Amino acid sequence: MKEAEHEGGGAVQSVIPDYLTEVLADVESDVSGEPAGYIPELAAADPDRLGAVFATLDGKIYGAGDVDTEFTIQSISKPFTYALALADRGFGPVLAKVGVEPSGEAFNQISLERESGRPLNPMINAGAITAHSLVGSQELDPAGRAERVVDGLSAFAGRRLSIDDAVCASEMEHAHRNLAIAHMLRSYHILTEDPRGVVDGYIRQCSVLVTVRDLAMMAATLANRGVNPVSGDRVIGERVVRQVLSVMATCGMYDSAGDWATQVGIPAKSGVAGGLIGALPGQIGIATLSPRLDAHGNSVRGVSLFERFSSDMGLHVMEVPASAPAVVRANHVVDGGRHAVRVIALQGGIRFAGAERIVREIVDAAPAEIKVALDLTMVSSIDDVARRMVLEVARRLTLDGHEVFLVDPEALVPDPDPGEGGRVTVVEDLQHAVRGLVDKHEPGPGSTSDKKQRGPA
């Protein structure tokens, strides 16, 4: 096993690679399980391979062990291909063909809805084969569709990926069960083309070569709302990310999904080559490699590593952190007399709960000052519902006779429109509000046509 990667030439090194090395050493002695034996090329894999990588949402990579060893992606491709199908065809056509319910069965079971023949979810083989058939436009032939899949997987990884032809040929030679599933899907009209062509493309998808580093970056792209942290390219939209992570959380670990959800609590997907990924929204992408599999088809040491990561670092998605500092940092009056401004200084990331606190603060304070400034200088983010709530408060303050300023140097609320009767003046800093540096020719408060003005820098 390789030593941890340390980057940078300074005397002080990051503690994270050393932590990864320590955790790998703790699980290295576990030799239970066996590599996948039903595919000859996979059965020949070195069972002692072991590696782990963390990928942050700003593109930093921390790794230890066999992080650059190539192996085939196998079923870890499923959530990414599902994402491509959703992006290419839309939610309606995909959900009409593939459900989202956990099957409680092994990955290669024929888990179809009794009447419709629709696969229960896209993480089992029946659903994954169907999802593969839905990638790209309807006009694509099987070869073009397979190329679209490889292009999409490459975008998630941030580098050009390729197919292992030897593994692909080995899998296709032993694809009897997948072919049977595909023919069953064709009989229900879930597939509308030659089943063998679809299975061939699906197996090519599973035979794409990746490293642990690649998988961590792919997971980080999901955790980063669909944007690759290194390339900066948006690979899929945020609605697709939410759908994919939800299905990973409930179905990604097959018939051990319940144990995984309670013990680890990270949306995840495993592959029979020994890879395992986890994507924790807004935080990190994680990947491991260890080819020995348990009875569920999941990596034995990979599961142990994720259990350790979740426990050591509090990564369980249901482990709610202590509340951040109050979103209202200060509520005070600046200056005096005719220049007096009631300042509501905000901070941190603002979502619904934070926006509710802002609304309550303003309602309870009932500002007597004509000028009211909502100061976003220390705010890191504000989501759509919070933005709408803040602008509605601005509208109501305007209707109540106030002049409302939005101190928004980072343009977190671009082109704010408080709605009918509302008016908000956007300024770069608080002093613009205090000094009243606004366009004297703008209509006064209460005009239904008023929008905004960004003060001079």
**pLDDT on residue 437:** 43
**pLDDT on residue 443:** 41
* pLDDT higher than 70, residue 405: yes
Question: What's the rounded mean pLDDT across residues 82-101?
Answer: 97
What's the mean per-residue pLDDT of the chain? 89
Band (139; pLDDT cuts 50, 70, 90): very high
SS3 content of the chain, % helix, strand, coil (to 5): 40, 15, 45
* pLDDT higher than 60, residue 444: no
75: annotated active-site residue: yes
Exactly one of 199, 202, 240, 244 is catalytic; name it.
Answer: 202
**pLDDT on residue 455:** 40
d(CA 288, CA 305): 8
**pLDDT on residue 54:** 97
* pLDDT higher than 70, residue 19: yes
Of all residues in the chain, the percent with pLDDT exceeding 70 is 89
**pLDDT on residue 3:** 52
Cβ(86)–Cβ(240) below 8 Å: yes
Q: Who contacts 416 (Cβ-Cβ below 8 Å, separation ≥6)?
A: 387, 391, 394, 406, 408, 424, 426, 451, 452
Q: Which residue has the higher pLDDT, 437 or 47?
A: 47
Which region among 38-42, 116-120, 135-139, 290-294 has the lowest average model confidence (pLDDT)?
A: 38-42
Question: What's the rounded mean pLDDT across residues 141-152?
Answer: 97
DSSP state of 373: E
* pLDDT higher than 60, residue 106: no
**pLDDT on residue 105:** 62
pLDDT tens-digit series, residues 69-79? 999 999 999 99
Exactly one of 272, 327, 390, 427 is catalytic; name it.
Answer: 272
**pLDDT on residue 435:** 66
CB-CB neighbours of 6 under 10 Å: 13
**pLDDT on residue 4:** 60
Exactly one of 77, 199, 254, 424 is catalytic; name it.
Answer: 254
**pLDDT on residue 239:** 97
C-alpha gyration radius of the chain = 27
Exactly one of 19, 78, 97, 270 is catalytic; name it.
Answer: 78
* pLDDT higher than 80, residue 336: no
* SS3 call for 430: helix
Lookup result for tokens 């997971």: 219
CB-CB neighbours of 179 under 10 Å: 16
* pLDDT higher than 70, residue 45: yes
Cβ(404)–Cβ(425) below 8 Å: yes
Exactly one of 23, 75, 207, 427 is catalytic; name it.
Answer: 75
* pLDDT higher than 60, residue 301: yes
Of all residues in the chain, the percent with pLDDT exceeding 90 is 74
Helix pair angle (195-206, 165-173), 10° resolution: 140
Sign of the torsion formed by the C-alpha atoms of 288, 293, 295 and 300: negative
d(CA 23, CA 15): 12
What single-letter amino acid sits at 360? Answer: R
* pLDDT higher than 90, residue 53: yes
Sign of the torsion formed by the C-alpha atoms of 255, 108, 223 and 389: negative
**pLDDT on residue 6:** 53
* pLDDT higher than 90, residue 293: yes
Band (450; pLDDT cuts 50, 70, 90): very low
Alpha-carbon separation of residue 355 from 317, 374, 392 (angstroms): 23, 12, 11
188: annotated active-site residue: no
97: annotated active-site residue: no
DSSP state of 337: G
Which region among 29-33, 159-163, 214-218, 354-358 has the lowest average model confidence (pLDDT)?
A: 354-358
* pLDDT higher than 90, residue 91: yes
272: annotated active-site residue: yes
**pLDDT on residue 41:** 83
**pLDDT on residue 456:** 35
What single-letter amino acid sits at 404? Answer: V
* pLDDT higher than 90, residue 287: yes
* SS3 call for 244: helix
**pLDDT on residue 107:** 59
Per-position b or e across 338-372, b if 16+ CB within 10 A of its CB: eeebbbbbbbbebeeebbeebbebbeeeebebebb
Alpha-carbon separation of residue 159 from 124, 156, 272, 371 (angstroms): 27, 8, 23, 52
Sign of the torsion formed by the C-alpha atoms of 408, 411, 412 and 417: positive
**pLDDT on residue 223:** 97
78: annotated active-site residue: yes
